[in-house]
Structure 1
Amino acid sequence: MGIFSSIMDKILGRKKPEAPPAAAPAPTATPAATAPPPPPPEPVDVEAVLSELAAEKGGGGNWRTSIVDLLKMLDLDSSLDARKELAGELGVAAGPHGSAEQNIALQKAVWAALAKNGGVVPASLRD
């Protein structure tokens, strides 16, 4: 599993548990061809999930603008090698590896990729 997949799992897969559904009558046999498709997943408020996680962890550093702090808060590897791998996964080629330029580009790429994969990312994070 790639680093971005781990980021997605930690953020988009971290929804609050829903109340269990009420007991339904036993399903009747329905041919698969007529069964409705499953509904698309609910969008996830990325900032709310991360703010909650930061509160649980006592602050979370500067996760809004620092890729290193975001990765650390998510309990993921934030080393230079990990960020090189993430840059490759997201197609980020800004600046030398480990530079502020690349780290900023990585952070923006993470927000954009989360938005493309069902995350609701406010403009305040994407800018």
Structure 2
Amino acid sequence: MSDSHVRVNVAGNADKPQEIASILLTSIKSMISADGASRLHLAVKQVPETSTLELTAKSEGTSGNQPILSSVKHEDFRVGALKGGVAFDCPVGMGCTQDQDCLSGKTTHQCLKDDDQPVGRCGLRLAP
């Protein structure tokens, strides 16, 4: 099993969704505090009185938009992808609304748009 996949044993808890959520919460928290490449850059919390866990990516931009994979076969177990991250690391040609949307490392990209346009495209900064 790779560093990005962790087996979590929930045997004996099949009929206890809140207990399973608590076990998963503990496992995810251990990966958040791990060292090295296996460390997760997330925040996680359990919604009180439920079996729902909420994950929030800590990385800026779209890099946090990741699928969550599951091998659980129970009909009540659901996962959703981390989504909603925008901007910060957009490539040339990607839609943008401000220069900061196009920055990635030490690039000189900017948001190319006219003042009356709400959305532009990331491109190379032009010489003044």
The alignment's TM-score, normalised by the length of structure 1, stands at 0.26
Greater strand share, 1 or 2? 2
Larger radius of gyration: 2
Greater helix share, 1 or 2? 1
